[in-house]
């Protein structure tokens, strides 16, 4: 079962709720001269099955990155520019301010929504209005199109595989199958001794992934349309809430303050395992989507290796 969801990746710590308007990858540690930016190193290390060639382009005043992806006997190269963490084609450098950075804060702690101040809650209400959502900047997809050979529906679907995930049918991009299999094996092992993990598996209804569609109210492509986002939908959620918009229909003023014990979650151990295998969890967005996991190893590595040290 697929649902409309995910709008922008704001995280649930009061210090970073509105980082998208202020956070820059240039704030990362940087050695003067032509030292490769830390953010670019993180991106390259996060996709070991992909080849990267980086060189400083004096004319553009930026790092030029040739991303070469091989599927079967076919290799395809895409030239992108670092653009302060946005990874853009040269023709889009003049429009860089339109896009978010690929690397941004993600917390490994569980959210504490009840600690939001009224001022913070009001900002969230404003940012989630239909008008604001329609005019938001967006994630630059050029990098993901290169990694997943996915610049179009036909190309994307040529890389999809039907698998069983926790015994449920799922259609995913072939690139993420190894990470999924590692996460699955670890969750199944944990379920033998952890009752919360066992309950997650016993109550699991579906594990839907690929769905070619745009993000609701945004007109941009969902990561479900790459086959790298998965929704774990439970058979029932026991009077709890699972998705921000459905809660907003009930409580338009204070939906963002709903405590975690009133939201359905897969359980902290399941979340942690998937994070350790490169997936972020939508329950940590301010605009929360608690059934949703998304493969972004660059974010996991960035937040554990770079932000964690600073």
Res 83: pLDDT: 97
**What average pLDDT does the segment 237-245 reach?**
93
Kindly give, in sequence order, each residue whose CB lies less than 8 Å from that of residue 243, ignoring residues fewer than 6 positions away.
3, 5, 288, 289, 290, 291
pTM, 2 dp: 0.88
Res 18: pLDDT: 38
Place of tokens 């520019």: 81
DSSP secondary-structure letter at 79? E
Q: Assess whether pLDDT exceeds 50 at residue 230.
A: yes
The region of weakest confidence among 124-133, 135-144, 174-183, 195-204 is: 124-133
SS3 of residue 78 by DSSP: strand
Res 17: pLDDT: 40
Res 130: pLDDT: 72
Give pLDDT tens digits for 73-90. 999 999 999 999 999 999
Kindly give, in sequence order, each residue whose CB lies less than 8 Å from that of residue 127, ignoring residues fewer than 6 positions away.
10, 18, 133
Q: Assess whether pLDDT exceeds 60 at residue 37.
A: yes
**What average pLDDT does the segment 22-38 reach?**
60
Residues 83, 104: Cα–Cα separation, whole Å: 14
Place of tokens 């917390």: 107
Q: What tokens appear for 30 in the block?
A: 């940087």
């Amino acid at each position: 079962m697929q649902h409309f969801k995910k709008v922008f990746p704001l995280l649930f710590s009061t210090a970073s709720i509105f980082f998208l308007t202020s956070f820059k990858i240039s704030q990362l540690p940087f050695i003067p001269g032509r030292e490769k930016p830390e953010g670019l190193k993180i991106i390259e290390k996060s996709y070991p099955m992909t080849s990267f060639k980086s060189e400083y382009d004096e004319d553009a005043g930026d790092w030029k990155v040739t991303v070469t992806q091989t599927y079967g006997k076919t290799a395809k190269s895409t030239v992108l520019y670092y653009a302060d963490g946005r990874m853009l084609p040269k023709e889009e450098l003049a429009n860089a301010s339109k896009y978010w950075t690929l690397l941004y804060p993600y917390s490994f702690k569980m959210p504490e929504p009840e600690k939001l101040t009224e001022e913070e809650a009001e900002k969230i209400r404003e940012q989630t209005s239909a008008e604001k959502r329609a005019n938001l900047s967006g994630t630059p997809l050029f990098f993901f199109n290169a990694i997943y050979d996915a610049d179009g529906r036909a190309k994307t679907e040529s890389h999809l595989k039907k698998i069983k995930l926790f015994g449920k049918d799922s259609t995913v991009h072939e690139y993420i199958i190894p990470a999924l299999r590692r996460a699955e094996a670890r969750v199944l092992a944990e379920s033998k001794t952890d009752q919360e993990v066992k309950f997650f598996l016993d109550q699991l209804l579906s594990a839907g992934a690929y769905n070619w569609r745009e993000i609701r109210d945004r007109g941009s492509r969902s990561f479900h349309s790459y086959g790298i986002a998965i929704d774990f939908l439970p058979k029932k959620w026991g009077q709890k809430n699972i998705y921000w918009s459905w809660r907003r229909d009930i409580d338009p003023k204070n939906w963002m303050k709903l405590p975690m014990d009133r939201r359905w979650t897969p359980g902290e151990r399941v979340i942690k395992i998937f994070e350790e295998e490169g997936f972020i969890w939508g329950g940590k967005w301010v605009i929360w989507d608690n059934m949703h996991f998304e493969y972004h190893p660059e974010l996991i590595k960035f937040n554990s290796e770079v932000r964690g040290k600073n």
